[in-house]
Structure 1
Amino acid sequence: MLETSARLLRLLSLLQARPEWTGPELAERLGVTTRTVRRDVDKLRGLDYPVEVDYGPGGGYRLGSGAALPPLLLDDDEAVAVAVTLRTAAGSGVAGTGETALAALLKLERILPSRLRHRVAAMPVATVAPRVASPVDPSVLAVLGAACHDRRVLEVDYTARDGASTRRRIEPVHLVAWGRRWYLAAWDRDRDDWRTLRVDRLVPRLGPDGLPTGPRFAPRAIPGGDPAAFVARRVADVRPFRSVVRVEAPAERVRQTIWTDQVRIEALGPDACRVALSTDDARAAGIILTGLDADFVVESPDALVDELREIAARYERAAGPSPGQPTAPPTSQPIP
């Protein structure tokens, strides 16, 4: 009985690890006959695991989606990865995930072997909640992810930056978390062009079952081939105030320090880079640049130079006189 139970767990783990297996492949992995594999699959199905079977040439076994979530089998590295990911979920910008992730983490940590709990605890992970980004509805992310995977046309209501609302028919291709926001790279059928849409500004139109109703589409190659790079190029220049500075620091260090997603960074050598910022105004650009902890020179525009002078004067007033610097003598009052 113990051998059969252990084999069932091993079979379940294999089915969870890959989309589909043939009977001979599973038999070889388990060291049994294909007939035993069929019997074990029947036992799993009797335990309400949704194992689907395709008969005939090229057919095989796969774990489908059922009415309830079945238990998952994770190896040591997978369990640690899941636990660390749950710890960082509070900073994802997805609405409502903080408490849910914590509850899932507590359940997972209760059943982790002590050796794995120590590994998770030793991970130097800290979470910081997003500063100003609008939270994203996790159900919207799920719908968009499914539409990308299934290649289904979506009809969405989209609110632009200026508040204008439009209805769009799009071919969703890829979700990208960039900076403090989520974006969707998609082909806009009405505009016949690629678009980058902020997920917190769109509402998908769905059928009564909550699923996309659009037809399937043939996938298009995203410009440049890299969805993250495509989104980065599109979202880096959407603010009205543009500025360019040369920073005396490595590009990678600046990239890790600067917190806005409206930025382009070009390496100029091992110890210098050029930073192009898009912000709402000169004051926002000045605040970002003063947080770099590195020397920089303004290349354009002059309005940024004027703003930095005001910031410098404000800092100087806040710091007060230097040690040893004479201060204004007190005003004398006549003694009555």
Structure 2
Amino acid sequence: MRFYQADPTLESYWRGVILFGSNFATYKFALAHALYDVERHSTLVLLEDLAVPFSKHICEHLKQAPKQILNEKNPGKFLSACMQFNNGEISPEELRQMTVRYGFSVVLDKFHNVKGGAIEKRFYLKQGGAQKGILLTDEFYQLAESAQFQNLVQETDARWRLVEKAWEMALPPKLLDVHYDAQQEVLFTKLRNDRITLTSCRNSLNGYQKGYCFYCSAPVSLHSGDAQLAEVDHFIPLMTQKALPGINLNGVWNLVLACRECNRGPNGKHAQIPNLELLERLHTRNEYFINSRLPLHEAIENQTGRNEALRKGFLNARWNEAKIGTSQPWKPAANGNIIL
């Protein structure tokens, strides 16, 4: 996948698992969170120890989103145990035992699979025998020490909540329209005139940009108060809306994360139109959304086109319409390698 080839870092491989892996259940997200949480004093993590954070995250999500598996008519023994625990019907120890027996039967083997095959980098290896568990690899320890690691926690939860909402709404794809609320900094949609908050906009976008400013490739953060906190920017500025009647400039297709300098610094973009090179980068980023599926790809397809050629044509047309009467297109100062 281009996602890895353009930036073959451990962070890109990990994000590939979270963003592009098939989702028939949300166990992959729960396992990722368990790996974030687990004690890493030893490379060996026993299933009985991994079971505690793994089941904890599933139980917490079940409270807000009862559908954690596509085939909800047959949730299986593990998910049923999590429901029983939330209802006070079984103890923490009973939940742990059920998780060890039934919770890892598929997810440990499938975690590294993306688009039908396993990624090149492995973050753990399964261990059988008397001490069943996983062996954390050097790749995982390196990932955990990276500057991007804390961003991955929030990105994973944002992706998990998007999948949950897509299953919960069961909205016909052609009707799905995702908008951005700038005041609350969230993505939302509407279902039968009811507004439904999907997830944090910043956390959802960051993984597809690999933790960097869309424009200059400087590292950005997801943590409030951080000097490098990412800012949500409209690629085609809102001030051009009159030139683009009927176009949802608040749609995901037009939202990117930028560093403060690029967004509103002395030489920043502000309300300028980005150059064609950046428009091509926006197309690449949007195609990552399309390949990620559920539910942002449906919203982007509805707004920009059902195939890649149409989507590219849509962006070029909107860019040409928006720049009529404007100054020379804006280009940032390079601050790193282009990573999309």
TM-score when scaled to structure 2? 0.25
With CA pairs under 8 Å and 6+ residues apart, which has the higher RCO, 1 or 2? 2
More strand by share: 1
More helix by share: 2
Kindly name which structure, 1 or 2, has the bigger radius of gyration based on alpha carbons.
Answer: 1
